[in-house]
Amino acid sequence: MNDVLMPKATAVWLVDNTSLTFEQIADFCGLHPLEVNGIADGEVARDIRGADPIANGQLSREELDRAGADPKYRMKAQKSRHAELLKPAKKQPRYTPVSRRQDRPDAIAWFIRNHPEITDGQISKMLGTTKATIDQVRNRSHWNATNIKPVDPVTLGLVGQLELDDLVKKAAEKRARDDLRKGIVPDGPTLAPASETGAPEVEEEEPRSNRPAPTAANLFRPGVDLDADDED
């Protein structure tokens, strides 16, 4: 039996518009009889609007009439004409025009050089290439390795800028999470104190407030630079 779309909404409609037993409705909708009983009592699916299984192509009128005449009969759902529309579309592999395919090794080299955090699987999915080709570019065993140069895939027209930015952002966030789990500090080590590196320590300048007040003797003493103490 095919799965019924919107099982609770279908059960609401069957409870309100037919004389089928709770067991028949539960079997057709894939619910427990107690759930159907709760729907009939207004305790379950109170705010759900009923969906007509005949109108949406999941049940024929003949099946409904037959089940209404025989409480032991179990209805069989038919494939809904809306099922294909509601089924999530399978994402197709990226298609790269023939005129652009020779540019993919350059884009692969750009990813390898500039974004090592991006996995081969992500590169393969982004550029529509294979992991074997990525390995050949990385190991410089590609047949055209001497002519491969890193070029931005957006410049080559292989991907869009927003799509590339989203991939880089996700890869960076994943790498940051992995580093955090491994205990790696993202900002790197801090500077070591001078006592550990052997560098000479700079003595702190004496605060201006602690210097002796100027007197007439040292102000007018020959050879004394009056601005020496004011230099920064």
Q: Is the per-residue pLDDT at 53 higher than 60?
A: yes
Q: Is the per-residue pLDDT at 95 higher than 50?
A: yes
- Higher-pLDDT residue of 56 and 39 is 39
Greatest mean pLDDT range, 71-80, 98-107, 113-122? 113-122
Q: Is the per-residue pLDDT at 22 higher than 90?
A: yes
Q: Is the per-residue pLDDT at 29 higher than 80?
A: yes
Task: Name the domain boundary from 86, 108, 139.
Answer: 86
82 & 102 share domain: no
Long-range contacts of 163-169 (CB under 8 A, 24+ apart): 163/126, 164/126, 167/118, 167/122, 167/126, 168/115, 168/118
13 & 34 share domain: yes
Domain contains 93: no
Domain contains 2: no
DSSP state of 82: T
Domain contains 42: yes
> Sign of the C-alpha dihedral, residues 117, 121, 127, 130?
positive
Q: Is the per-residue pLDDT at 143 higher than 80?
A: yes
165 & 117 share domain: yes
- Higher-pLDDT residue of 142 and 45 is 142
Task: Name the domain boundary from 182, 198, 221.
Answer: 182
**Residue-range definition of the domain harbouring residue 158:** 98-182
Task: Name the domain boundary from 86, 108, 133.
Answer: 86
Once rounded to an integer, what is the mean pLDDT over residues 37-65?
87
112 & 37 share domain: no
DSSP state of 156: T
What per-residue confidence (pLDDT) applies to 222?
A: 56
74 & 118 share domain: no
Instruction: Specify the range with the lowest mean pLDDT, choosing from 71-80, 136-145, 191-200.
Output: 191-200
What per-residue confidence (pLDDT) applies to 18?
A: 92
72 & 103 share domain: no
> In the chain, count of helices (H) and strands (E)?
12, 0
pLDDT classification of 174: cutoffs 50, 70, 90: confident
Joined together, the tokens standing for residue 124 give 């393969």
55 & 78 share domain: yes
Domain count, the chain: 2
170 & 119 share domain: yes
Q: Is the per-residue pLDDT at 105 higher than 70?
A: yes
Domain contains 78: yes
pLDDT, mean over the chain: 78
